[in-house]
């Protein structure tokens, strides 16, 4: 199937002059020295105006001086996030902060100098098209429809805040709300997200042989408990109530804590066997230590070394890696470790999130949907207090028999 022709004029090099050039309606517009930030900013402004109005007149900062510009709204909004502590947990920025940056960066590139009071639905449509196409050109891989819709929602959310602060008329926010999200098949510039499917135990078992002791323990704990990757990375001994046949883990940080939801993970005998070797440490420390994993990896490399070590090599050895490993794994470092092991094991690459899906699939198949919802901590099963208590007893039996 032929690729649809792009409606966005391309950023090209004019070889005789060394300048960047863009052609619109058969007319060349020179942007300055090719490859410079100034030429790319000029290109973005021209494309924005062309996609929005069909003209190539650029709105300069001087023209927008009558009101606050989009860049000034972005700066004010970011200051608000910093001072209010939004999207922060335990003094650390959540992943939402990064998604906001990715959302606002193209807005600033194309419409930063535009009067914020004139940023309407047509410009938002143009930005969405340019955003999807630019990602394809830069990375060779298109954005997912879910990603594009999420970025547009964050931009609209910023204008809602700006309207509440009387930085822009409230009509601007209401008008932007009229832009509905892309639907499946509506745009050829975006792709659909791949559905997360459970991973089979045979594939997990093949990968465990290529993982270090620490990461292998994380994988097994997640398989037997259904915990989220972030919860496994940050679990501490003090968070685990080690009483009775089923232990209860109450993570300090979890996905829905900012909504006031409690989180309890039930650990059966199999999960307890996995955890036991890692609990002999300070209860306040994270159970799974990257530093410990790095030391064990280095010792393994030394044991497999063919060339004999010189005395100077042994003298330089230190028992702790020099500042390369943190206090705990991040979800990204955990995922990368698993994916590297998948490639070594020569199996299809899977991610830690698929372990949680596998746990949900197993529990639902054997005990029903309600049990799966409660074991994984989904709020959909928490309809009434009695309903929750009844399901928690079922979850305890599931953990005792299979976890």
Q: What is the pLDDT of residues 330-371, one digit of tens each?
A: 888 999 999 999 999 999 999 998 888 888 888 877 877 767
In order of 87, 115, 158, 323, the CA distances from 165 in angstroms are 19, 16, 11, 44
State both tokens at 244: 């009775």
Distance (Å, rounded) from C-alpha 327 to C-alpha 363?
Answer: 33
Whether residue 140 is found in the same domain as residue 287: no
Angle between helices 145-164 and 95-111 (to 10 degrees): 80
Whether residue 393 is found in the same domain as residue 300: yes
Is residue 166 left, alpha or beta, with left meaning phi > 0 and alpha meaning psi from -120 to 50? Answer: left
What is the percentage of the chain residues whose pLDDT exceeds 90?
26
DSSP string computed for 373-384: HHHTT-GGG-SS
Distance (Å, rounded) from C-alpha 97 to C-alpha 155?
Answer: 13
Report the SS3 class of residue 266.
strand
> Cβ distance 364 to 371 under 8 Å?
yes
**Reported confidence tier of residue 260, pLDDT bands at 50, 70, 90:** low
Average pLDDT rounded to a whole number, residues 204-214: 92
Listed in sequence order, the residues at least 6 apart from 322 whose beta carbon sits closer than 8 Å to its beta carbon are none
pLDDT tens for residues 12-29? 887 766 778 888 877 777
Q: What is the domain extent for residue 298? A: 201-307+317-402
pLDDT tens for residues 140-196? 778 899 999 999 999 999 999 999 988 899 999 999 999 999 898 888 888 888 777
CB atoms under 10 Å from CB of 274, counted, come to 21
Total domains in the chain come to 2
- Residue spans of alpha helices (H) in 141-212: 145-164, 170-176, 201-208
Residue 261 has pLDDT above 80, yes or no: no
Distance (Å, rounded) from C-alpha 391 to C-alpha 372?
Answer: 10
Residue after which a domain boundary falls, among 176, 191, 211 = 176
Q: What is the CATH number of the domain that holds 334?
A: 1.10.443.10
Whether residue 321 is found in the same domain as residue 371: yes
**196 located within any domain:** no
């Amino acid at each position: 199937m032929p690729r649809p022709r792009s409606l966005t004029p391309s950023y090209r090099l004019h070889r005789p002059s060394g300048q960047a050039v863009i052609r619109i309606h058969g007319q060349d517009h020179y942007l300055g020295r090719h490859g410079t930030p100034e030429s790319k900013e000029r290109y973005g402004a021209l494309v924005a105006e062309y996609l929005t109005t069909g003209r190539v007149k650029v709105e300069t900062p001087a023209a927008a001086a009558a009101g606050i510009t989009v860049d000034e709204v972005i700066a004010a909004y970011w200051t608000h996030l910093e001072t209010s502590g939004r999207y922060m947990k335990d003094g650390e920025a959540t992943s939402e902060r990064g998604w906001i940056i990715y959302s606002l960066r193209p807005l600033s590139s194309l419409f930063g100098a535009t009067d914020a009071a004139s940023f309407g639905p047509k410009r938002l449509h143009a930005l969405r098209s340019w955003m999807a196409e630019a990602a394809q050109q830069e990375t060779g891989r298109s954005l997912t429809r879910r990603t594009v819709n999420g970025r547009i929602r964050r931009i609209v959310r910023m204008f809602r805040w700006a309207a509440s602060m009387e930085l822009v008329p409230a009509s601007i926010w209401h008008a932007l709300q009229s832009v509905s999200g892309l639907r499946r098949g509506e745009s050829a510039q975006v792709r659909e997200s791949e559905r997360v499917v459970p991973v089979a135990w045979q594939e997990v078992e093949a990968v465990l042989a290529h993982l270090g002791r620490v990461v292998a323990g994380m994988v097994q704990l997640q398989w037997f408990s259904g915990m989220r990757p972030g919860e496994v990375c940050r679990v501490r001994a003090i968070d685990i109530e080690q009483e009775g046949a089923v232990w209860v883990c109450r993570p300090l940080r979890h996905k829905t804590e900012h909504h006031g939801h409690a989180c309890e993970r039930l650990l059966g005998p199999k999960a307890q066997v996995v955890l036991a070797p890692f609990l002999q440490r300070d209860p306040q420390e994270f159970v799974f230590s990257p530093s410990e994993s790095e030391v064990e990896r280095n010792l393994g490399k030394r044991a497999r070394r063919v060339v004999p070590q010189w005395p100077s090599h042994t003298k330089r050895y230190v028992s702790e890696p020099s500042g390369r490993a943190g206090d705990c794994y991040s979800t990204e470092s955990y995922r990368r470790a698993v994916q590297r092991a998948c490639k070594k094991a020569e199996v299809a690459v899977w991610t830690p999130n698929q372990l949680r899906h596998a746990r949900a699939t197993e529990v639902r198949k054997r005990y029903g949907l309600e049990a799966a919802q409660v074991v994984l901590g989904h709020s959909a099963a928490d309809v009434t207090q009695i309903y929750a208590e009844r399901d928690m007893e079922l979850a305890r039996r599931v953990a005792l028999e299979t976890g």
